[in-house]
């Protein structure tokens, strides 16, 4: 296949902490829409569109689907058939930390689970190695030393080039960084949940990452779709909030939240952006943010998200207005 020869000139790349790696300002997450329940033609086109636009980073996890594992399998097929000659131009990441198989060794953070899970992920994606391997969430029972030693082992085995962590609060992250640095495999990147509506990382984690030279790649930057035009008129029937078992609960969409969404949308329109584009640009205004993970249900949606890069700057008044809107619901 032929891809846009200017793709690397058209995308912005940011250095990941103090490492030698640069990531695209927008990375593609395969959490949703790439499983066996989804349309192959659609998600193949999304991956092609991403790479054609200069997105070099594709983010997966062992349990992405549904069913769990299918996103990796489907991505592996497309990588093998369409992007194989471009493998060295890509950053491919995966994770383990949530339930993947039955029994005591298919969850959390033991060395047994992490090593076995990555072996399975590599087989599904038909890869010899991933570029980044994350521990997906802290384990309250397994010693942190065991989990971090597993990441170090995986890197030393050549099954991953870099180690990362996700969903770690500041104190646990600081301990993890210290252990990994002592082992000789410094943490490359942290993947936290961060958006206009989810700002816990501002309580110290972002400062820690800057101090330690660790990159940051937020997930759920649109708050599961809240920071888009989907909810401007209430809760659509087929939205995530309308589903009983979705990650976005209907109870979270209060009248106050809807008023915030509408006010933010009005500001975005004044800026010449969609609400989603403004929400992504708002994250990218911080130089400590290496890349922002976006999902996509279509190639058009992905291209729309990428337009955030055309207008990333905010005036002081705009930032103050955003804070006023976000504080109005407290």
Give the model confidence (pLDDT) of 121-132 as tens digits: 999 999 999 999
Q: Which helix (H) or strand (E) holds 162?
A: strand 160-166
Residue 230's pLDDT is what? 85
Instruction: Give dist(CA 75, CA 72) in Å, integer.
Output: 5
DSSP state of 226: T
Cα 205 to Cα 147, 208, 284: the distances in Å are 20, 5, 16
Q: Kindly tell me if the per-residue pLDDT of 245 is higher than 50.
A: no
- Of 33, 86, 81, which Cα lies nearest the Cα of 57? 86
Q: How far apart are CA 221 and CA 224, in angstroms?
A: 8
- Say yes or no to pLDDT of 234 above 90: no
Answer whether the bond into residue 66 is a cis peptide, omega within 30°: yes
Contact at 8 Å (CB) between 188 and 181? no
Mean pLDDT of the 321-327 span: 97
pLDDT-based confidence at residue 253 (cuts at 50, 70, 90) = confident
Instruction: Output DSSP code: residue 24.
Output: E
Task: Answer whether residue 220 shows pLDDT above 70.
Answer: yes
CA–CA separation, 160 and 180 (whole Å): 14
> Is the preceding peptide bond at 154 cis, omega within 30 degrees of 0?
no
The alpha carbon of 136 is separated from its chain's Cα centroid by a whole number of angstroms, namely 11
Q: What percentage of the chain has pLDDT greater than the value 90?
A: 91
With 70 as the cut, is the pLDDT of residue 169 above it? yes
Token digits of residue 320: 């103050």
pLDDT value at 261 more than 60: yes
Tell me the backbone φ, ψ of residue 194, rounded to 5 degrees.
-155, 130
What is the C-alpha separation between 231 and 212, in angstroms, rounded?
38
Q: What is the mean pLDDT of the chain?
A: 95
Which among 268, 288, 287 has a CA at the least distance from the CA of 279? Answer: 268
Give pLDDT, residue 247.
57
Instruction: Using pLDDT thresholds of 50, 70 and 90, give the confidence band for residue 328.
Output: confident
R_g (Cα) of the chain, nearest Å: 19
Is residue 25 within 8 A of residue 291, CB to CB? The reply is: yes
Tell if the pTM clears 0.85, that is, is over it. yes
Q: Which residue has the tokens 């902490």?
A: 17
> In the numeric block, which tokens belong to residue 250?
């209907």
Token digits for 105? 């060794």
Is residue 202 scored above 80 in pLDDT? yes
Residues 6 or more apart in contact with residue 183 via CB below 8 angstroms? 148, 149, 152
What share of the chain in percent tops pLDDT 70? Answer: 94
Strand partners, 59: 29, 93
Please check the confidence at residue 235 and state whether its pLDDT lies above 50: yes
Superfamily of domain 7-230+283-310: NADP-dependent oxidoreductase domain (3.20.20.100)
In the predicted model, what is the mean pLDDT of residues 185-203?
Answer: 98
CA 243 distance to own-chain centroid: 22
User: How far out from the chain centre does Cα 167 lie?
Assistant: 11
Domain map (residue ranges) of the chain: 7-230+283-310
């Amino acid at each position: 296949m032929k891809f846009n020869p200017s793709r690397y000139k058209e995308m912005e790349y940011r250095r990941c902490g103090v490492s030698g790696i640069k990531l695209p300002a927008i990375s593609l997450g395969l959490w949703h829409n790439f499983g066996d329940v989804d349309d192959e033609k659609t998600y193949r086109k999304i991956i092609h569109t991403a790479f054609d636009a200069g997105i070099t980073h594709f983010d997966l996890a062992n349990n992405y689907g549904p069913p769990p594992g299918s996103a990796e399998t489907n991505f592996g097929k497309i990588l093998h058939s369409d992007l194989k000659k471009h493998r060295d131009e890509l950053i491919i990441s995966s994770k383990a930390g949530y339930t993947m198989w039955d029994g005591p060794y298919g969850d959390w953070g033991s060395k047994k689970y992490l090593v076995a899970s990555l072996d399975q992920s590599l087989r599904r994606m038909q890869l010899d190695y991933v570029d980044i391997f994350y521990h997906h969430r802290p384990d309250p029972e397994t010693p942190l030393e065991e989990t971090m030693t597993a990441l170090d082992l995986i890197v030393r085995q050549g099954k991953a080039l870099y180690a990362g962590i996700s969903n770690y609060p500041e104190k646990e992250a600081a301990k993890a960084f210290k252990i990994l640095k002592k082992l000789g495999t410094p943490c490359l990147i942290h993947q936290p949940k961060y958006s206009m509506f989810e700002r816990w990382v501002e309580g110290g984690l972002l400062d820690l990452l800057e101090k330690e030279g660790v990159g940051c790649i937020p997930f759920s930057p649109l708050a599961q779709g809240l920071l888009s035009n989907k909810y401007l008129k209430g809760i659509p029937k087929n939205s995530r909030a309308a589903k009983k078992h979705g990650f976005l609960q209907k109870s979270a969409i209060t009248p106050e939240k809807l008023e915030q969404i509408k006010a933010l949308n009005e500001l975005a329109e004044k800026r010449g952006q969609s609400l989603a584009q403004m929400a992504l640009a708002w994250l990218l205004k911080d130089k400590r943010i290496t890349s922002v993970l976006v999902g996509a249900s279509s190639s058009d949606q992905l291209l729309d998200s990428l337009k955030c890069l055309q207008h990333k700057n905010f005036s002081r008044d705009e930032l103050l207005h955003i804070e006023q809107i976000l504080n109005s619901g407290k």
